[in-house]
Each structure stands twice: as C-alpha cells, then as structure tokens.
Amino acid sequence: MKQVAPENHDHHTINVPLSASGAADAGHPPRPTRGESLHPPPPDSVAIDMPAASDLRRRNNASGGDAGGDETPGSNGKSGADLYWEDVRFKVSTGSGKDKKEREILKGDSGRAEPGQLIAVMGGSGAGKTTLLNLLAGRIPQGEPSGIVLADGKVRDKRRWKKLIGYVQQEDLLYENLTVRETLMTSAQLRLPSAKYSQAQKAERVEEVMRQLGISHVADSRIGSGATGGISGGEKKRVSIGVELVADPMTLFLDEPTTGLDSATSLSVINILKDLAVETNRVIILTIHMPRETILGKLDKVALMSKGQMVWFGPSKKALEHFARLGHECPPQTNPADFYLDLIQDNEKDKDSRTVAEKLIEEWSAVEKEYTTPIDEETRQQALKTQDSKKSKKGRQEVAGAWEDDEGRWATSWFSEFSVLLKRNFKQTFRNKTIVISGFMQQFTILLLLGFVFFRLSADSAGVQSRQGILFFVCINQTFSFLMPIITVFPLERRIILRERASGSYRTSAAYLAKAISLWPLACLSSLLFSINVYWLVGLQPTFVKWLLFQIITQSLVFAAQALGMLIGSSVPNVQMAQIVGPLIVVSFVIFGGNFTAGNSITVVLRWIQWISLIRYTYGAYMQNEFNGLQLNCGNATGGVRCTPNGSEVLSLQGLDSPSLGICILILLVLGVAFHFLAAMMLRKTTRMRIVVI
Ligand SMILES: Nc1ncnc2c1ncn2[C@@H]1O[C@H](COP(=O)(O)OP(=O)(O)OP(=O)(O)O)[C@@H](O)[C@H]1O
C-alpha cells in the first residue's frame, strides 16, 4: 500500500512509521520513490505535514541549469545523485628534499553508484578505502586527485557539492553536554535553509530523522562521554548519522560506521542505512573492515580494494562467482568477507612472481566493463568538456556566477547562526558542573589564602612591599586563571568545527563571536567574586572610586587574557602544544611585567615583549590606583630602609607612573580586541577543510 504525497508542493505529507522497521532483503522489491512508504503504514504511524525533504536539492537543481549549469548535479530531477567515477587516481608527495617521492595511492579506479544503493568499500588496512571515499566526497586534505567523477552525469561544483552531501566521520564528533534532540536541532537550524523551513518544520524534520534512526527513545538524553556516561556507542553513531541526515543530503558517505560497535549494533546501523538508501532513493557509500555475512547480504555492491586498485566492484554474490571462475572457491562455512580479505591479502607469489592480488587486479580490469553500467557517451563527452572549461579561468567564473544566482551561500542569516551557536555554547559550558564549580572554588581558595597572608595591610614601608606583592600576584593569578582553561577550547573542538565548516554550516565569524561571548560570563562572575572581596580583605584604599577602578582593571585583564587564550588555542595544533605555549607566553609576560625589572634595563632584542605584556599594564594600573593619594607612615622605618611618605613617589621611583591608569586600561582593551581579531583569523585558517572536486 502506498502513501503517495501530492507532488510539486512546498510541503508534502509523508507517512513516518514510529519505529525504524527491519531492513529490506538483499533482493528487495522495486524501490519506491520519495513520498512512498516501503511498508504499509502501521496503525501507530503518524502523518506529518513537512516541507519536501528534497527542497535543498531542488533549490540547487533549480539554479543549476544555466551559466555553466552543467556543473550542477541533480538537474535531472532525481532525488539521489547517480555517482559515476572513472579512472580516478590519487597521488601524494612523501618525504622531503632529496628523499621526496611521489606515491600513487589510488591507481585508476572506476565504478558507479546508483540512487537507492548501499555500497561498501572493503579491503585490508592501507588498501585505499578511506582515500577513495574521501575522493568521491571531495574531502582531500592534501594530495593530487585526477580522473572523472560525475554526479548525475554532471561535473560537480565545489561549493554546492559540499552542501549536497553528508559525510559521517569514523569518530563521533559531538558535544557531550547536549541532548540528542538538541544536537540534531542545531544541525537542522544551521543547515536547512530558513527561507524554506520554519522553526517548527525544522523541529519536525529532527523528529522524523530520530524516528528513522530509532533514537527517539533517547531524544532527551545527553550524548555524554566515557567518563560521564551517556548514550551507547551505537546510539552515538546513529546521532552522527542523524546530524548529516537532517540536512537531507543527496549522497551520504560514511567512514567505517561499524568500527568499535559490537556485531548486533553494527548490523542495526547497516539495516538503518539500507532502509534509508531504499526509502529515500539516496546513494550511501561507506567503508567497512570485516563485515559479518548478514551485513554483506544487505549491501547492494561491494568494492574490494587491494593496494589502491579494484579487485571487484559489484554485488557480493557475484564476486563469489567471479572468484570461483578464476579458481578461488570460497570454502564452505566461511564468511565471504573473510574469504575476500584473505584472497586479496595473500602475498605468496606464484611461478610468474605475481601475487594472487596482482592477478585479481589484472583480471578485474579485463572484465570490469561487463559489471559497471556505463554512462551515456554523449553525457560523458559533455562532462569532459565542462571539466576542461572549469579548469580555465572562464569556466571558473561561470561556476562562481552560477553560485551567486543561487539563494545564497548560507542556509540562514549571520545572526541566526550566531544565536544558535551561542545557545549551544552556553549549554555546553554551563552544563559542565565540574568546570563551573571548580572555577569558583579556585578563586575562593586563593582569596582565602590571600586573606590569611595579606589581611589588612599596614601603611608603612612593609605595607608598601606587601601592596606591590599582592597586586603583582593578582595580575598573575587572574591571567593564569582565565587564560589557561581557554587555550584548550579550540584544540578540543577543532575537529567538530572542521566537520561543520566542511558542510558549509556557518560563517567562522559567527562561530568565533558566539564562542568568545559564551566564555565570558563565567569568567566575569568568578573574577568578580575574587576581586570584589580581595580589595576589602587586603585593605586597599577604602574609596568607592578606587574600588570601582580596581574592578574595571581586573575585568579588562580578564577580557585580554581570554582573548590571548583564544589566540593561542586557535593557533596551535593540539592540546599538548597549547599547554606548552600558554604558560611560556604568560611567564614571559610576568618577567616583563614591571615588577622584576625596569623597562629600559631590558635587552633591546626582547624589549618589545613588555609592550604586549598584559601583566605590565595591569600591574601599572593597579599600582597607580593604589599608590596615588596614599599617605605612608614612615615612623616605623628601620635603619637602612628608605621610606617614602608619598605613594606617588613610590610610583615614580619604580617607573610605574606612566603610561597613565586610563591609558593602561585602554591598552588592555585594545590588546584584547587585537588578540580576538587575530584568533578569529587563525580559527578561520585552521578549520578550513580542503574540498577538491574533479
Ligand atoms: N596524505 C597522505 N600522505 C601519505 N600517505 C597517505 C596519505 N593518505 C593516505 N596515505 C596512504 O595511503 C594508503 C591508503 O590509505 P587509506 O587511509 O585510504 O587506507 P584504508 O584502506 O582506509 O586503511 P585503514 O583501513 O587502515 O584505515 C595508506 O598506506 C596510507 O598510509
């Protein structure tokens, strides 16, 4: 029984079963098109009024027909792209200097994936599975690809392609303090075009995807982590798939989606993918290591690879026949996947000094045309022409022009991106109670310690030294406390940002600003807890204006220290480097902070450090705030200790009377803004995924 949706409407009604039912068999019935249900709707199914899930593709298709329009896949109106690749190669340079060599990782592979098919790339470790998957997806961090890849017979356009596909990485890159529903909703809000989908429709899409993936029962559970608990590994994998699926991609790529899962969970993930491929008429391509036989039965085609070359591409059952014809029978009671892998990894050489794999590669190249449905030659020639023109300047302009005619480069406005990301960041930060509480506890403990050591300072020569000591300590404490936790933020989140940016989810400026603002309130509150109380505890000058200035100076330091933390975090490749570089920079700022050495006695080569030392300006401002107008009691001065009755004199003796307090605060703010600006630039640079389409 079919549930046919009215066509050519902005919205269509689909029947969504409340449970993700079992997968269709390998020999599944004729594929339904979108809007048709595979199975009769169960009594508990619900009809949802949804925007056509293929709107995103239609949007891209609609504008793909003209200027260089042959570049856009999907313009034949199909819901899933037919992916064709021919003679694809991939080279990388290894070594350096004299030892520099070129290594060919993919050596001329061809194949075709048709809508509705679930395809697995298999092979031993290092066979080139991930490289082939990445090349088809266009995600190539380095190296030189060549060959032809056509989507629906068209050369792809990089900017559109990255938004038309979903790519599920091997690791589950998710925010652990968000719930499943919030995770998927964030993806929907960022990736579904606001012009087509209202908030309610985006929420409906999320519910639909959760039902398809069978994760509705954990919708409100936090993702969690090994340490904090949370949803299971299989559920996490389904959430990762859901993050891509809510954007309704035309083609879905998955890198080893079953790795790390037990065999029952792996089978359930594959069942879901199989259902998705069939029900939504999409191409789904994945890499897999050692599937069990039941999983193999779900796959429409397998691509067996050895040393960067195909050994077989087609249905698994036919592979057994093909290998049997070549004299390699699969022994009874053997999982065909084990048999394939043993065969292609057999390194024993025969009398011609060739391995079994080498012979199988040769045999495959002789018969591959029989097994791969060719594309129409006229389409192929046309695509080749477009590919050539795309390489020329004129072609590039045509592609760019075609994009400009589209609805826009981003699914939603800058402000929407910013507010979605800000909300996500607040949830991620404030739900981590350990971090929140330990931040306050740290400030409170130091406050107590200072209270014991520096309680109510005297106004004599000993009090001068103690004042200097405590003010310098406050500078160091506040810098370390608010810089160090931040330097690991970007290194820890970089791979998530890379993933999200690779699919064109948001502008870096929105992501950066949302992150910077979300980190500020907690730092502001805990630094206030410290600075408000330390002032009275230590007994600094008891006037409201000076107390207020003390708070302003502290907040300016916190602002600049956080900005510097973000700059360090966005510039270093990993947490370890951040933890080395962060303290190194702060310590050099301390050395040039104005307490240990006078500015003009520093060697010229390093003198510049004092000009960017946050601690120098903060210390200068604190000292002026405290010592200007301070009357000291020299009555107790003991022999040899010079006592200065006037606080301003202390400042001029130590060279801390300039720049003035106001300028010091201003410089701190300017440094903060400059660090933020540089950090945003660095984030943009270090989270850019190289997308190359051939
Ligand atoms: N950018 C690169 N630079 C150098 N070598 C590379 C690069 N990318 C891939 N390789 C090499 O190419 C080969 C194939 O890599 P690929 O990751 O595709 O293998 P795989 O089949 O996915 O292996 P595994 O199952 O172990 O992940 C490996 O030997 C790998 O070291």
Distance (angstroms) between ligand 1 centre and the Cα of 125 equals 8
Q: How far apart are CA 193 and CA 411, in angstroms?
A: 4
Atom 28 of ligand 1, residue of closest alpha carbon: 126
Q: How is residue 520 written in tokens?
A: 């500020």
Work out the end-to-end distance of the chain between its first and last CA atoms, rounded to an integer number of angstroms. 42
Within a 10 A sphere around the Cβ of 49, how many other Cβ atoms?
Answer: 11
Atom 17 of ligand 1, residue of closest alpha carbon: 130
Q: How is residue 499 written in tokens?
A: 């993933």
Range of the domain at 74: 57-92+103-404
Residue 137, domain member (yes or no): yes
Tens digit of each residue's pLDDT (9 = 90 or more) over 472-489:
999 999 999 999 999 999
Is the same domain home to 429 and 388? no
Q: CA geometry: angle at 248 spanning 122 and 175, to 5°?
A: 80
What average pLDDT does this structure show over 521-526? 92
Instruction: State whether the beta carbon of 131 lies less than 6 angstroms from ligand 1.
Output: yes
Amino acid 392: pLDDT: 57
Q: How confident is the model at residue 352 (pLDDT cuts 50, 70, 90)?
A: low
Is the same domain home to 370 and 344? yes
Q: What is the CATH number of the domain that holds 67?
A: 3.40.50.300
Query: Which of 89, 130, 133, 304 for a ligand 1 pocket mutation test, highest count of atoms within 8 Å of Cβ?
Result: 130
Q: Which residue has the higher pLDDT, 282 or 643?
A: 282
Question: Within 72-198, where are the H helices?
Answer: 129-137, 158-164, 180-191
Is residue 500 pLDDT above 90, yes or no?
Answer: yes
Atom of ligand 1 nearest to the CA of 143: 1
Atom of ligand 1 nearest to the CA of 105: 12
Most confident listed range (95-109, 177-191, 455-469): 177-191
Task: Rounding to the nearest 10 degrees, give the CA dihedral for residues 433, 437, 438, 444.
Answer: 170
Instruction: State whether the beta carbon of 105 lies less than 6 angstroms from ligand 1.
Output: yes
Instruction: State whether the beta carbon of 130 lies less than 6 angstroms from ligand 1.
Output: yes
Amino acid 391: pLDDT: 63
Is the same domain home to 464 and 331? no
Amino acid 11: pLDDT: 36
Do residues 546 and 540 make contact, with C-beta atoms less than 8 angstroms apart?
yes
Distance (angstroms) between ligand 1 centre and the Cα of 89 equals 13
Is residue 73 pLDDT above 50, yes or no?
Answer: no
Within a 10 A sphere around the Cβ of 354, how many other Cβ atoms?
Answer: 12
Distance (angstroms) between ligand 1 centre and the Cα of 584 equals 36
Nearest Cα residue to 23 out of 275, 318, 294, 338: 275
Q: Which residue has the tokens 């160090």?
A: 484
Distance (angstroms) between ligand 1 centre and the Cα of 517 equals 40
Residue 495, domain member (yes or no): yes
Say if strands 283-287 and 251-254 run parallel, antiparallel, or are unpaired.
parallel
Do residues 500 and 167 make contact, with C-beta atoms less than 8 angstroms apart?
no
Q: In the listed set 404, 423, 452, which residue is the last one of a domain according to the structure?
A: 404
Classify residue 309 by its DSSP letter. Answer: E
Element (H, E) at 586: helix 575-591
Amino acid 470: pLDDT: 92
Is the same domain home to 170 and 274? yes
Tens digit of each residue's pLDDT (9 = 90 or more) over 653-663:
888 888 899 99
Distance (angstroms) between ligand 1 centre and the Cα of 145 equals 14
Residue 317, domain member (yes or no): yes
Atom of ligand 1 nearest to the CA of 127: 21
Q: Which residue has the tokens 């049997």?
A: 324
Bond from prior residue into 659 cis (ω within 30 degrees of 0): yes
Amino acid 346: pLDDT: 65
Is residue 498 pLDDT above 50, yes or no?
Answer: yes
Residue 44, domain member (yes or no): no
Q: Which residue has the tokens 């069990």?
A: 292
Instruction: State whether the beta carbon of 123 lies less than 6 angstroms from ligand 1.
Output: yes
| Range with the poorest average pLDDT among 8-22, 258-272, 485-499 | 8-22
Q: How far apart are CA 106 and CA 97, in angstroms?
A: 24
Is residue 127 pLDDT above 90, yes or no?
Answer: no
Is the same domain home to 363 and 479? no
Phi, psi (degrees; rounded to nearest 5) at 353 = 60, 35
Q: How is residue 371 written in tokens?
A: 């097994």
Distance (angstroms) between ligand 1 centre and the Cα of 131 equals 6
Phi, psi (degrees; rounded to nearest 5) at 551 = -65, -40
What average pLDDT does this structure show over 111-120? 91
What are the E-state strand segments in 202-278? 224-225, 229-230, 251-254
Phi, psi (degrees; rounded to nearest 5) at 116 = 90, 0
Q: How confident is the model at residue 459 (pLDDT cuts 50, 70, 90)?
A: confident
Q: How far apart are CA 41 and CA 44, in angstroms?
A: 8
Atom of ligand 1 nearest to the CA of 142: 1
Most confident listed range (8-17, 198-207, 354-363): 198-207
Is the same domain home to 243 and 387? yes
Q: How far apart are CA 273 and CA 237, in angstroms?
A: 12
Instruction: State whether the beta carbon of 303 lies less than 6 angstroms from ligand 1.
Output: no
250-289 as b/e, with b when 16 or more CB fall inside 10 Å?
bbbbbbbbbeebeeebbbbbbbbbbbbbbbbbbbbbbbbe
Instruction: State whether the beta carbon of 143 lies less than 6 angstroms from ligand 1.
Output: yes
Task: Rounding to the nearest 10 degrees, give the CA dihedral for residues 319, 151, 307, 291.
Answer: -50
Residue 423, domain member (yes or no): yes
Q: In the listed set 404, 438, 468, which residue is the last one of a domain according to the structure?
A: 404
Q: How confident is the model at residue 626 (pLDDT cuts 50, 70, 90)?
A: very high
Q: In the listed set 349, 374, 404, which residue is the last one of a domain according to the structure?
A: 404
Amino acid 657: pLDDT: 84
Do residues 643 and 463 make contact, with C-beta atoms less than 8 angstroms apart?
no
Q: How far apart are CA 547 and CA 542, in angstroms?
A: 7
Nearest Cα residue to 439 out of 473, 477, 471, 469: 477
Is the same domain home to 430 and 381? no
Do residues 357 and 311 make contact, with C-beta atoms less than 8 angstroms apart?
yes
Q: How far apart are CA 239 and CA 212, in angstroms?
A: 11
Q: How is residue 58 written in tokens?
A: 């239609």
Q: How far apart are CA 533 and CA 451, in angstroms?
A: 9
Element (H, E) at 58: helix 55-62
Q: For the chain, what percent of residues have pLDDT higher than 70?
A: 81
Within a 10 A sphere around the Cβ of 105, how many other Cβ atoms?
Answer: 19
Tens digit of each residue's pLDDT (9 = 90 or more) over 157-213:
887 888 888 999 988 999 999 999 999 999 999 999 888 899 999 999 999 999 988
Is residue 670 pLDDT above 80, yes or no?
Answer: yes
Instruction: State whether the beta carbon of 94 lies less than 6 angstroms from ligand 1.
Output: yes
Amino acid 26: pLDDT: 35
Within a 10 A sphere around the Cβ of 452, how many other Cβ atoms?
Answer: 8
Is residue 25 pLDDT above 50, yes or no?
Answer: no
Dihedral sign for Cα atoms in the order 29, 30, 31, 35: negative
Rg (CA), the chain: 32
Is residue 674 pLDDT above 80, yes or no?
Answer: yes
Residue 47, domain member (yes or no): no
Total domains in the fold of the chain: 2
Q: How far apart are CA 293 and CA 355, in angstroms?
A: 26
Residue 209, domain member (yes or no): yes
52, HSE (Cβ side, Cα atoms, 13 Å): 19
Mean pLDDT for all residues in the chain:
81
Atom 3 of ligand 1, residue of closest alpha carbon: 92
Question: Within 246-355, where are the H helices?
Answer: 263-280, 293-298, 316-325, 336-344
Is the same domain home to 340 and 456? no
What average pLDDT does this structure show over 130-152? 89
Is the same domain home to 462 and 350? no
Instruction: State whether the beta carbon of 145 lies less than 6 angstroms from ligand 1.
Output: no
Say if strands 251-254 and 11-16 run parallel, antiparallel, or are unpaired.
unpaired
Q: How is residue 28 written in tokens?
A: 């599944």
Say if strands 165-168 and 251-254 run parallel, antiparallel, or are unpaired.
parallel
Query: Which of 105, 290, 310 for a ligand 1 pocket mutation test, highest count of atoms within 8 Å of Cβ?
Result: 105
Question: Within 592-660, where are the H helices?
Answer: 608-612, 614-627, 647-653
Q: Which residue has the higher pLDDT, 362 or 563?
A: 563
Is residue 581 pLDDT above 70, yes or no?
Answer: yes
Query: Which of 88, 129, 132, 309 for a ligand 1 pocket mutation test, highest count of atoms within 8 Å of Cβ?
Result: 129
Is residue 14 pLDDT above 50, yes or no?
Answer: no
Is the same domain home to 386 and 463? no
Is the same domain home to 309 and 434? no
Q: How confident is the model at residue 67 (pLDDT cuts 50, 70, 90)?
A: very low
What average pLDDT does this structure show over 80-100? 84
ipTM: 0.96
Distance (angstroms) between ligand 1 centre and the Cα of 271 equals 28
Strand partners, 167: 253
Is the same domain home to 501 and 617? yes
Amino acid 571: pLDDT: 96
Number of helices and strands (H, E) in the chain? 24, 14
Residue 45, domain member (yes or no): no
Q: How far apart are CA 666 and CA 594, in angstroms?
A: 18
